[in-house]
């Protein structure tokens, strides 16, 4: 039996009920991003609900709508789904969005057009300042060398997950709850979230500048800092040697800018 045609309705914001077992989190910072997106672009993605008004998708959008003082929001009722299907859809809608990749060349081109030509605030796009800066950093050399570098990157199947440690998220898909999980993992590994903000760069208070730390100065064997050149060199090594390599092993034994005398016990 085919699903019924979906219809957009407008319901009072207070009529929409959060799902008590919703597994996705929406930190305050992410709700602010969603609110800014709605303010700039409009409420373009309807919330999905059952007949009772319980949310199947759109928890973050409802929080943002309330913050903006919106009286009504667009909704679509999923009357054709069973209760079990609704529970499954909630997970699938959140998880499948995380399984896609970016075409770096096209992403960089779009970011450049939006931020440089159209003067769109990068904060509206959901990317961090460091991510935008890394993507828009122009490669050295003429057009021919740039093209060669782009082809090499494509051949190595460059992914933002490799470049930044996780796929950068936007208010339209990943919903930033994963950012909190990633940040907790980084803290557990001893990495300070203040890196790059002018604070002390290491736990011992040595205070190395961001670029020096990214290049390995003062680094004692932890995971790689935010250094795009490191990941580019690591991918090139993996392509040349036909295997993946652990980040720490590569930085200690093969990275051209590894700290003098550093070793992981294999040298």
The C-alpha atoms of residue 135 and residue 34 are separated, in whole angstroms, by: 23
Strands 72-77 and 47-49: parallel
Are both 92 and 105 inside the same structural domain? no
Residue at 111 is within a domain: yes
- Please tell me the predicted confidence (pLDDT) of residue 117: 82
Give the closest residue to 211 by CA, choosing from 226, 223, 221, 200. Answer: 226
Within a 10 A sphere around the Cβ of 237, how many other Cβ atoms? 15
- Please tell me the predicted confidence (pLDDT) of residue 53: 95
Structural domain containing residue 132:
101-166
Are both 69 and 118 inside the same structural domain? no
Residue at 177 is within a domain: no
Domain end call among 81, 99, 117: 99
Q: How confident is the model at residue 202 (pLDDT cuts 50, 70, 90)?
A: very low
Are both 93 and 112 inside the same structural domain? no
183 sits in the region (left: phi over 0; alpha: psi -120 to 50; else beta) called alpha
The structure tokens listed for 148 are 């060669």
pLDDT at residue 235 tops 60: yes
pLDDT in tens, 58-98: 999 999 999 999 999 999 999 999 999 999 999 999 999 89
Residue at 236 is within a domain: yes
Q: Looking at 105-109, 119-123, 254-258, which range is the least confident one?
A: 254-258
Are both 113 and 84 inside the same structural domain? no
Residue 216: DSSP 8-state: T
Are both 198 and 217 inside the same structural domain? yes
Count CA atoms within 13 Å of residue 195 on its CB side. Answer: 20
What percentage of the chain reaches a pLDDT higher than 70?
61
Q: Looking at 6-20, 45-59, 135-149, 214-228, which range is the least confident one?
A: 214-228
Greater confidence, 11 or 222? 11
Residue at 13 is within a domain: yes
Are both 161 and 145 inside the same structural domain? yes
Q: How confident is the model at residue 246 (pLDDT cuts 50, 70, 90)?
A: confident
Domain end call among 65, 99, 133: 99
The C-alpha atoms of residue 12 and residue 204 are separated, in whole angstroms, by: 53
Q: At what angle do helices 129-136 and 104-112 cross, to 10 degrees?
A: 100
Residue with tokens 């373009």: 44
Our count of domains for the chain comes to: 3
Are both 27 and 90 inside the same structural domain? yes
Domain end call among 63, 80, 99: 99
Largest CA distance in the chain: 68
Mean of the pLDDT values across residues 145-159?
Answer: 52
**Spacing of C-alpha 34 from chain mean position:** 14
Q: How confident is the model at residue 33 (pLDDT cuts 50, 70, 90)?
A: very high
Residue 169: DSSP 8-state: -
Residue at 76 is within a domain: yes
Residue 6: DSSP 8-state: P
Q: What are phi and psi of 13, to 5 degrees?
A: -55, -40
- Please tell me the predicted confidence (pLDDT) of residue 138: 52
Are both 77 and 112 inside the same structural domain? no
Q: Looking at 52-66, 184-198, 227-241, which range is the least confident one?
A: 184-198
Are both 195 and 267 inside the same structural domain? yes
Say which CATH number the domain at 53 has. Answer: 3.90.1530.10
Q: How confident is the model at residue 143 (pLDDT cuts 50, 70, 90)?
A: very low
Are both 71 and 128 inside the same structural domain? no
Mean of the pLDDT values across residues 158-174?
Answer: 47
Residue at 105 is within a domain: yes
Are both 86 and 129 inside the same structural domain? no
The SS3 of residue 167 is coil
The C-alpha atoms of residue 203 and residue 187 are separated, in whole angstroms, by: 11
Residue at 124 is within a domain: yes
The strand ranges marked E within the chain are: 8-12, 47-49, 55-57, 72-77
Strand-pairing partners, residue 8, are: 76
Residue 108: DSSP 8-state: H
Are both 135 and 201 inside the same structural domain? no
């Amino acid at each position: 039996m085919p699903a019924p045609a979906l219809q957009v309705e407008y319901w009072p914001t207070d009529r929409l009920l959060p799902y008590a077992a919703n597994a996705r989190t929406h930190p305050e910072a992410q709700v602010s991003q969603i609110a800014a997106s709605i303010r700039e672009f409009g409420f373009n993605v309807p919330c999905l609900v059952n007949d009772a008004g319980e949310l199947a998708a759109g928890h973050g959008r409802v929080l943002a709508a309330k913050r903006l003082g919106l009286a009504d929001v667009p909704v679509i009722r999923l009357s054709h789904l069973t209760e079990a299907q609704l529970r499954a859809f909630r997970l699938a809608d959140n998880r499948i969005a995380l399984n896609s990749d970016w075409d770096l060349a096209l992403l960089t081109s779009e970011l450049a057009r939006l931020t440089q030509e159209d003067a769109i605030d990068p904060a509206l796009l959901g990317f961090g300042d460091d991510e935008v800066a890394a993507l828009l950093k122009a490669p050295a050399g003429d057009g021919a060398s740039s093209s060669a570098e782009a082809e090499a990157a494509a051949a190595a199947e460059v992914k933002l997950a490799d470049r930044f440690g996780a796929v950068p998220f936007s208010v339209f898909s990943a919903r930033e709850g994963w950012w909190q999980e990633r940040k907790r993992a980084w803290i557990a590994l001893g990495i300070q979230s203040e890196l790059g903000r002018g604070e002390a760069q290491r736990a011992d208070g040595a205070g190395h500048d961001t670029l020096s730390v990214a290049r390995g100065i003062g680094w004692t064997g932890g995971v790689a800092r935010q250094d795009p050149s490191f990941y580019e060199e690591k991918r090139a090594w993996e392509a040349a040697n036909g295997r993946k390599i652990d980040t720490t092993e590569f930085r200690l034994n093969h990275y051209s800018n590894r700290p003098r005398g550093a070793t992981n016990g294999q040298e």
